[in-house]
Amino acid sequence: MLFEIGRAGRVVFANPSAREVAFAYEDLDGHTPHVTDADGKPLSPDERPRSRALRGEAFGPSMTHWKTRDGDFALVVRCDAVDHDQRLAALTFVDVTAFQRWTDDTRAALAARDEFLSIAAHELRSPLNALMLTIHRLKLRIPPDGSLPELDRLVDMSQRQIDRLTSLVQNLLDVTRIRARRLELEFEPKDLLQIVRDAAEEAIEHARSSGTPVRIVASEPIFGLWDGARIEQVVQNLLTNALKYGGGSPIEVSLVREGPTAKLTVRDHGPGVAAEDRERIFEPFQRIASTYKSQSLGLGLYIVREIVQAHGGTIVIESPDSGGGAAFVVRLPVEQQTSETSAEES
């Protein structure tokens, strides 16, 4: 609609759609709607679109919410001066009520989904722990002389499946925490090199059984403040990814200090990662190759990125200069320890 700028504020023109939202620019017999901005802050009469237009202000587009006798509406408002000589202003309203309702419903559905995943992950941990204990007790009953090889094989296979299911449940739980911004870190003075070695130990054992050599290259300890359990998770997820997609090629884990930063690199010699996929695979439920769709939820690298960023670090995929493959490079700031912490270590 077109307004005459000034105290009178005569409406020069209003199209049919504008007349349907007349409550947004007219005082309907004292029944002025309750109006808020995008954040829910109430707008006084002087702050509303009509009053600002009459003062000759140019503004928007901005979201407003209107509570009327006929229902609630969401309107995007914009005002522009169109004729300075005749002092006319164009006030435009876009009714986005349906879109706003769809957005609210979608957010509610996503919140309900994340809550369900969180509850399901918590509930699954109890029976999984019981299964793990049962398998452990069964393992102790198998004669060490190898007289029951088939039973030994079946128990080992069951153990691997339970470990895999436990990892999937933990990933789901971590995703719900990340989305709810409840991923808490517990920083303690630790040696990053020892964290990396401890995390790689289990993966190295698995890699040895599959014939994949894993080598750790590090020159010196790197002391700082870290959440050891979460950094271990980063290393384990990156090694698992390298074992899965590296095609049995050698894997190298290196750790060096670069000024105030620790650089951790996990490199394989497999087919590598295409340039167009290097950002995508850090998103949830994304995978490098369709071959492994049935074996992965596509959450490992997403969780790695979130943990690294929560430490104030970065992760990127680089193409090695030679030998092919992919190098996942994590850079973490080395937080300085307090004098009290250093004294305790001494």
Q: What confidence tens digit (pLDDT) does each residue in 47-77 have?
A: 989 888 888 888 989 999 999 888 899 999 9
CB–CB of 320/191 below 8 Å? no
Q: What confidence tens digit (pLDDT) does each residue in 225-262 have?
A: 999 989 998 998 899 888 888 777 888 999 999 989 99
For the chain, domain boundaries: 2-95, 110-179, 188-345
- Residue 320: predicted pLDDT: 72
- Residue 123: pLDDT band by 50, 70, 90 thresholds? confident
pLDDT at 202 over 90: no
- Residue 260: predicted pLDDT: 92
Which range is least confidently modeled, 2-6, 35-39, 177-181? 177-181
- Residue 192: predicted pLDDT: 93
Query: pTM here?
Result: 0.59
pLDDT at 146 over 60: yes
pLDDT at 341 over 50: no
DSSP 327: E
Q: CATH classification of 110-179 is 2.30.29, yes or no?
A: no
Cα separation, 10 vs 41, whole angstroms: 28
CB–CB of 23/66 below 8 Å? yes
CB–CB of 320/246 below 8 Å? no
What is the average pLDDT score of the chain? 83
Cα separation, 192 vs 225, whole angstroms: 9
- Residue 292: predicted pLDDT: 46
Q: What confidence tens digit (pLDDT) does each residue in 274-332 have?
A: 888 888 888 877 766 544 444 566 788 988 999 999 899 999 998 776 767 889 999 99
Q: CATH classification of 188-345 is 3.30.565.10, yes or no?
A: yes
